[in-house]
Structure 1
Amino acid sequence: MAQVDPKGLVEAAAAGGYAVGAFNMHNPETTEALLLGAEQAASPVFLQVGRALVPHVGLRKAYEMTRRIAEESEAEYVIHLDHGPWDEVFEAIRLGFTSIMYDGAHLPFEENIATTRHVVEVAHSFGIPVEAELGRIPDADQPVDDWTAYYTDVAEAERFVAETGVDLLAVSVGIVHGVPLADPQPLDIQRIKEIKAVTGVPLVLHGASGVPDAEITAAIDAGVHKFNADTDLRHAFRAGIEDVWKQGDRQLEEAMAEGRRRMVAATVGKMRVYGCAGTAGGAA
């Protein structure tokens, strides 16, 4: 089909009481899987060029691969830069990304505000919405003595959004990068509600793999309208490859095809849980 307006996509999700899925690609097969999943689910999709792919092939090649495959698809899609550092954000704008996440969460708060504000000014001049992040997200099964030290501060979120003009805010409320082996930390749904109330912008949850469906639904009701997930889908792709290898010496293409098939099914499953299945083309 074609690229769609990312800001309008998330605003439609907020108005409709659902969330849009944002997933990372790692090669042509995983890119195809996301798009095929979007087609089967009749859902829009954020195709995220992320922190694993960029060091492997470079930002330009990652973008060109994604665009080439997406243009052959019937899905509604957005090509989104995930966790972009300072220099990479401006390269992404030049390349043609239509959605940007600038990650200054590691910086001191005042510096994060200043740099994010500049990114927003530049991106908005090209009609590109900006997502930013406040708080810290630990890796799966990393020891955490005090979860509140990782959470997004409500007052800081209010000031950050007001002074930067970001379009979406990614928050930390008990999520992790990856899938925890132990019982996951429950999401702080009340904090999501409080952040939404003071910022007024759609919220994003990174690290949505492994989060129970009931908590996903509660987070949507509280104000989250974009979920980033990678690990669950990557594991589905890996399982398909490994099951083919278990059968003995097989062609790589056969293994990759099975990985893609499994990832398509996992993508459709995520879109149904998020509520975005059936919403392509403005469908209810």
Structure 2
Amino acid sequence: MTQSDPRSIIANAQAGGYAAGAFNMHNEETTEALVWAAEKANSPIFLQVGRAIIPHMGVRRAFEMTSRIAERSNAEYVIHLDHGSWDEVLEAIRLGFTSVMYDGAHLPFEENIESTRKIVEIAHAFGIPVEAELGKIPDVGVKVDWNEYYTDVEEARRFVAETGVDYLAISVGIVHGVIPDMPLEPINIDRIHEIRQATGIPLVLHGASGLTDREIADAMAAGVHKFNADTDLRHAFRKGFESVWTKGDHQLEEAMAEGRARMVDATVEKLRLYGCAGKSSLPRAA
């Protein structure tokens, strides 16, 4: 199969009141886990080349690995660049990504607008939608003043109007990573609704591994139609791997296979939670 249209996947999610699942791969086995889960759940999926794999493998090799595995499947998929720099976004466009996230959130607001606008112009010339981020997302366990981290509603309104970005990743109390048994502050559902009303475009939440089922449902109702999750899936892979590896003299491949199987199940669970299971526009394989 070839890559699907990300705009159609998000538009269908918006119309149906659910969200697309977007997950990062880290090697061959985790890529297979995501693709196999999408097949098993009959769900569209965003396969994300993200910040962990790029230093390890580079954008090109990660794209080639993901393409090779996904093309052999019957999954409805998009290969998406996650948190891309300027140069990485341009490389992704040349390689054949059909969806990109340009991350200028670390820049001063005016510079973020200007650089994002230029990326949007370039990407749209190739028919590629752009996700951007506004606000700051801390790592789990870091004490922050959330008033300084939340996405500002009026800034979001202006940012979207002046950049033409297609989707906006926002900060509403989410964090990167998960610490087991550590309670997190509830996310601000009202802020999601306010940003959606101000911008009129689908919203994205990163750090979805830390959210409760209730928060997922409320966030979708408020305007979130793409969730990025990674930590829960990595933890599932690790548990599977260690269940074999700690027993002693086993082949590495056997441990990796168990990790992959656990990650398939964890990903299917996410796809069902987001409501996109059963929503693939492609016919099921016979």
TM surpasses 0.5: yes
Partners of 1:115 and 1:223 lie apart in 2 by: 25
1:158 aligns to what? 157
The answer as to whether partners of 1:170 and 1:204 remain within 8 angstroms in 2 is: yes
* CA deviation string 1:68-87 (max 9, x = no partner): 11001110000000000111
The answer as to whether partners of 1:2 and 1:75 remain within 8 angstroms in 2 is: no
Partners of 1:225 and 1:24 lie apart in 2 by: 17
Could you tell me the TM-score, scaled by structure 1's length? Answer: 0.98
2:146 aligns to what? 147
The answer as to whether partners of 2:156 and 2:195 remain within 8 angstroms in 1 is: yes
Shift of 1:196: 0.2
Matched letter for residue 266 of structure 1: A
Partners of 2:245 and 2:254 lie apart in 1 by: 9
The answer as to whether partners of 1:79 and 1:99 remain within 8 angstroms in 2 is: yes
1:54 aligns to what? 54
- In structure 1, stretches of 5+ residues that fail to align are none
- In structure 2, stretches of 5+ residues that fail to align are none
Shift of 1:63: 0.6
Shift of 1:247: 1.5
1:183 aligns to what? 183
Partners of 1:34 and 1:57 lie apart in 2 by: 18
Matched letter for residue 63 of structure 1: F
Partners of 2:22 and 2:114 lie apart in 1 by: 27
Percent sequence identity over matched residues?
A: 71
Partners of 2:280 and 2:198 lie apart in 1 by: 30
Shift of 1:282: 7.0
Shift of 1:2: 3.0
- 1:10 and 2:14 are equivalent in the alignment: no
1:230 aligns to what? 230
The answer as to whether partners of 1:2 and 1:74 remain within 8 angstroms in 2 is: no
The answer as to whether partners of 2:170 and 2:204 remain within 8 angstroms in 1 is: yes
DSSP-derived class of the 2:177 partner: coil
The answer as to whether partners of 1:38 and 1:44 remain within 8 angstroms in 2 is: yes
1:249 aligns to what? 249
- 1:138 and 2:132 are equivalent in the alignment: no
The answer as to whether partners of 2:137 and 2:174 remain within 8 angstroms in 1 is: yes
Could you tell me the TM-score, scaled by structure 2's length? Answer: 0.97
The answer as to whether partners of 1:22 and 1:227 remain within 8 angstroms in 2 is: yes
Moved over 2 A (4+): none
Matched letter for residue 205 of structure 1: L
Partners of 2:270 and 2:91 lie apart in 1 by: 31
DSSP-derived class of the 1:80 partner: strand
Partners of 2:273 and 2:39 lie apart in 1 by: 16
Partners of 1:273 and 1:201 lie apart in 2 by: 22
* CA deviation string 1:92-125 (max 9, x = no partner): 1001110000000000000000000000000000
DSSP-derived class of the 1:187 partner: coil
1:36 aligns to what? 36
1:129 aligns to what? 129
* CA deviation string 1:34-81 (max 9, x = no partner): 000000101000000000000001111011000011001110000000
1:258 aligns to what? 258
DSSP-derived class of the 1:281 partner: coil
Partners of 1:189 and 1:51 lie apart in 2 by: 27
Query: How large is the Cα RMSD of the aligned pairs?
Result: 1.0
Q: Tell me the number of residue pairs that the alignment of Structure 1 and Structure 2 aligns.
A: 282
The answer as to whether partners of 1:14 and 1:225 remain within 8 angstroms in 2 is: yes
The answer as to whether partners of 1:136 and 1:150 remain within 8 angstroms in 2 is: yes
**Following superposition of structure 1 onto structure 2, how do residues 113-128 of structure 1 map, counting pairs within 5 Å?**
113-128=113-128
